[in-house]
């Protein structure tokens, strides 16, 4: 039996109808940015770029959490792994991201205790089973993962686990959109907004951004029909000249979002200024750990001294994340940078634009 809300959003006839609708909306050349890395992969997998009219260009944005993690944060994770009584617990896609001198994968090969987990609660369980070790979880992600990491910290506090710590590198999407709009080199006519993040923050989460910039925005799901519908809605807005903030993912995203998840997230974290790879420091775009959870704050617990970080030489990941270059325009792409031996983070993560191009682009 087909899975409900899946097959209907992969319907080829409906997809063709949407493509024809997009083609009938005659317009000047449009540059639309899919903010989410999962959208980038879905667009490639479905071959959407190849069936759109030449007037529409899709740009990949800063929606891959591993990719936008600043080099200094990566270096901090690696440095923490070198402390003798520390266990690093991390999601798998962070393992091969190159730091300035090494990676977590290389450190594990050298004997460091680095374990892949599927959730922050897995890390809490490891801390409970290893009371003589300090367990550190690198908190990487956006509003999607922040509530689950916050919930893990709440659990650790209730369990009185004094050996569980989070190094927060969490980031917020709306401030990044504002930063993109303020960059002179970035030319964007409309945004395909991320579905997963929007489930948490809702349509209202983008309202201040939209009210300020009045740029067409549509929240999209991840199936071909979802994405084509969002593109058609954006093209329609741009044709009429009336920008709107719209939701094309109503089966999952509400106006207010998941308020309980928002409460949990903001109980543990607070907005802070943080650096994004390719963009620089964005005010109030990160989530720092509040004072009442300082006992579980890895930055407060460990005094890590780091030299000024260096991005990989020749790597265009920063420009790719803001849509000013494509992976095909990076001199390292497919030459010295491959998924087997990545130079930059955009080639590491399954949501990275370079990895998507490498896998799907002919």
Is 228 a member of any domain? yes
pLDDT score at 3: 47
pLDDT score at 38: 93
pLDDT score at 286: 98
Residues in CB range of 158: below 8 A, 6 or more apart: none
Task: Render pLDDT for 57-95 as a digit per residue (tens, 0 to 9).
Answer: 999 999 999 999 999 999 999 999 999 999 999 999 899
pLDDT score at 28: 81
Is 147 a member of any domain? no
Q: Which of 248, 225, 247 is nearest to 51 (CA)?
A: 225
Is 41 a member of any domain? yes
Is 32 a member of any domain? yes
Is 22 a member of any domain? yes
Q: Are 199 and 174 in contact (CB under 8 A)?
A: no
- Residue 49 CA to residue 57 CA, distance in Å, equals 8
Supply 92's token pair.
Answer: 């798998």
Supply 71's token pair.
Answer: 């080099």
**How many structural domains are present in the chain?**
1
pLDDT score at 182: 94
Task: Render pLDDT for 255-295 as a digit per residue (tens, 0 to 9).
Answer: 999 999 999 999 999 999 999 988 999 999 999 999 999 99
Is 25 a member of any domain? yes
Residue range of the domain that includes 214: 7-57+195-247
pLDDT beneath 50: ranges in the chain = 1-3
Supply 271's token pair.
Answer: 């907005």
pLDDT score at 105: 95
pLDDT score at 176: 97
Residue 205: give its domain's CATH number: 3.40.50.11750
pLDDT score at 337: 94
131, burial (CB in 10 Å: exposed 0-12, middle 13-18, buried 19+): exposed
pLDDT score at 5: 58
């Amino acid at each position: 039996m087909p899975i409900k809300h899946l097959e209907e959003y992969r319907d080829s006839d409906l997809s063709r109808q949407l493509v024809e609708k997009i083609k009938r909306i005659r317009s000047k050349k449009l540059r639309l940015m899919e903010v989410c890395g999962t959208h980038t992969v879905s667009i490639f997998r479905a071959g959407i770029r190849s069936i759109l009219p030449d007037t529409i260009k899709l740009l990949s944005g800063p929606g891959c959490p591993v990719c936008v993690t600043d080099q200094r944060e990566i270096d901090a994770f690696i440095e923490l792994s070198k402390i003798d009584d520390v266990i690093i617990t991390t999601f798998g896609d962070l393992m091969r991201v190159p730091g300035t001198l090494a990676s977590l994968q290389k450190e594990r090969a050298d004997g460091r205790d680095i374990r892949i987990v599927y959730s922050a609660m897995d890390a809490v369980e490891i801390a409970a089973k290893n009371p003589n070790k300090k367990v550190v979880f690198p908190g990487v992600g956006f509003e999607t993962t922040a509530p689950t990491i916050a919930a893990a910290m709440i659990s650790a506090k209730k369990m009185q686990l004094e050996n569980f710590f989070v190094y927060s590198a969490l980031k917020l999407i709306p401030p990044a959109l504002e930063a993109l709009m303020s960059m002179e080199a970035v030319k964007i006519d409309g945004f395909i907004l991320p579905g997963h993040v929007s489930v948490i923050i809702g349509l209202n989460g983008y309202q201040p951004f939209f009210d300020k910039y009045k740029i067409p925005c549509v929240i999209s799901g991840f199936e071909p029909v979802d994405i084509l519908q969002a593109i058609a809605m954006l093209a329609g807005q741009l044709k009429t000249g009336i920008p709107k903030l719209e939701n094309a993912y109503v089966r999952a995203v509400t106006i207010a979002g998941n308020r309980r998840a928002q409460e949990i997230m903001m109980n543990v974290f607070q907005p802070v200024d943080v650096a994004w790879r390719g963009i620089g420091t964005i005010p109030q775009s990160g989530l720092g750990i509040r004072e009442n959870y300082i006992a579980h704050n890895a930055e407060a617990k460990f005094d890590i001294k780091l030299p000024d970080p260096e991005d990989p030489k020749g790597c265009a990941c920063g420009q790719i994340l803001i849509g000013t270059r494509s992976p095909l325009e990076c001199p390292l792409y497919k030459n010295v940078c491959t998924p087997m031996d990545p130079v930059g983070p955009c080639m590491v993560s399954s949501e990275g634009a370079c990895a998507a191009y490498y896998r799907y682009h002919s």
